[in-house]
Structure 1
Amino acid sequence: MSEPPALAELEAILRHSFRDPSLLRSAIAHPSSIGGGGNGGPAGYERLEFLGDRVLALIVAELLFERFPTENEGELSRRLVGLVRREALLKVAQDIGLHRFIEVAAVPAGRRDQGLDTALADGCEALIGALYLDGGIEAPRRFIHAAWTALVDATPRPPRDAKTALQEWAQARRLPLPAYAVTVREGPPHAPCFTVEVRLSGAPPASGEGMSKRAAEQAAAAALLHHLEGNDRDRSRS
């Protein structure tokens, strides 16, 4: 029996024809749409997401190792973090039009975009897990090399970690380390949104939002660092 056209189209995007189509169906059945809880629903969506996260990290690390032979471990690690975080997964999910295939439950008004973004990022990882189970390492490798190349090429230099940069800024001026605190946590369990505030002696507090606490901390650090570096530039011109 042939697969529905939608799944056949998704297979073409993924560059893989599934021997076990149930894996693909599981990967696009978000637990929010079927009442799944911590077990990820009856088909194990979250188990595929868990596996896909590890497969993605391995293949991207391999890709970076080959692409940047002169970079050290720290530089490669910063690249890896940026390429496997939710924002990168969301970008790939949007690029392949995953929203046309994944099933997501309604979320509260004002948080629809946030809920959909989280579901798309999670679904992208689940698809990678399904590819690995169905076709071994080569199946997700083909997809990841095709889908992540633009993200790799978009960063010619290793990205700077905002939290690390802010910490170094403070240490260079013999200031206490920045302090982070979650001020708001909104949204349903499958689509949370965190707001984090960062404080540093002698500077106004700054806030950032993200789909995880870590992402929100990075956003807050980047916002404060932008303010501080702007002040430094202004002082150097005067």
Structure 2
Amino acid sequence: MKILKNIFKNSRSNEDGIFFGEIQNIIGFKPSSIQYYQKAFTHRSTNKMDFKGNPMNYERLEFLGDAMLSAVIAAYLYNQVPTGDEGYLTKMRSKIVSREHLNELGRDLNLIRFVESKVPTQHFGENIHGNIFEALIGAIFLDKGYDYCQKFIHKCVIIPYVDIAKLEGKVISYKSLLIEWCQKEKKSFNYDVFDDNGIDGQKYFGVKLSIDNKVISKARATSKKKAEEKASQRAYFVFQEMIDHKQ
């Protein structure tokens, strides 16, 4: 029995050592408390609790990481674009910390390989990549403080991905852009959403987008949100010259 315990202990120790090394390679410095990082990759499906009975998963760290990322990016933009007003800076920050971009960052670092879960990873939604990226930032903040958190964000987000000129022309949501334009131009708009199931058995939603009572575009996707966004993008290209002129 003692031999089995030692084997298990050595195996667990080896796993922790490998995890420690992998995390150090990603964040660029030596963690002080590996427990924060283990928690950053623990899914709620594990039902783990701390000694006080509080849930042990990445969700609270995700909240903290989101706030820290937003603060660092806000400070960077404030310093880099001294002529930008509040509205401009807010839009630019939103583009950098968009869910799509955070998911891309998480995928690029292949963070999902560290996730401990009772749910198969293929059943996770796409946002898992961005969620654990934010949780990792939260873990860094608790472990090493703001300065290290800022260094990590500069290395992994700002330096490789943030180009002010390119970001100015990037559209996060075609639906939001189109609605904003319609409201400014006093145009009526309507998204007519309906079930549009295909022969493959997959549930789809269809959308007809009308502007001033005229159907401008149609789209089909596996969710209402995706269908509306796709229809909005197609409508944007119809009115692109007028919309861009107003930006």
Calculate the TM-score normalised by the size of structure 1: 0.72
1:53 equivalent to 2:66? Answer yes
> Which whole-Å CA distance do the structure 2 matches of 1:6 and 1:24 have between them?
9
1:134 equivalent to 2:143? Answer yes
Question: What is the Cα-based RMSD across aligned positions, in Å?
Answer: 3.6
Max radius of gyration: which structure? 2
Aligned to 1:187: none
Aligned structure 1 segments of 4 or more residues deviating by more than 3 angstroms: 171-174, 177-184, 194-198, 204-210, 215-220, 229-232
Whether the 8 Å CA contact 1:55–1:128 is kept in 2: the answer is yes
Query: Identity of counterpart residues, as a percentage?
Result: 27
Match 1:175 to one of 187, 190, 197: 187
> Which whole-Å CA distance do the structure 2 matches of 1:195 and 1:31 have between them?
31
Aligned to 1:88: 101
Residues 134-177 of structure 1, C-alpha deviations (whole Å, 9 max, x = no match): 11111221111111122212753523452343124434664214
| Per-residue deviation, 1:6 | 2.7
Whether the 8 Å CA contact 2:42–2:57 is kept in 1: the answer is no
Whether the 8 Å CA contact 2:95–2:167 is kept in 1: the answer is no
| Per-residue deviation, 1:58 | 0.7
Question: Higher relative contact order at CA 8 Å, sep ≥6: structure 1 or structure 2?
Answer: 1
1:166 equivalent to 2:175? Answer no
Aligned to 1:103: 116
| Per-residue deviation, 1:97 | 2.2
84 and 230 in structure 1: CA distance in 2 versus 1, 3 angstrom threshold: closer
The one-letter amino acid of 2:188's match is P
Whether the 8 Å CA contact 2:221–2:227 is kept in 1: the answer is yes
8 and 222 in structure 1: CA distance in 2 versus 1, 3 angstrom threshold: same
176 and 63 in structure 1: CA distance in 2 versus 1, 3 angstrom threshold: same
80 and 230 in structure 1: CA distance in 2 versus 1, 3 angstrom threshold: closer
Point out where structure 2 has 5 or more consecutive residues left out of the alignment.
1-12, 49-53, 197-203, 243-247
Residues 159-211 of structure 1, C-alpha deviations (whole Å, 9 max, x = no match): 34523431244346642144486979xxxxxxxxx97946323123445678x
Point out where structure 1 has 5 or more consecutive residues left out of the alignment.
185-193, 233-238
Aligned to 2:124: 115
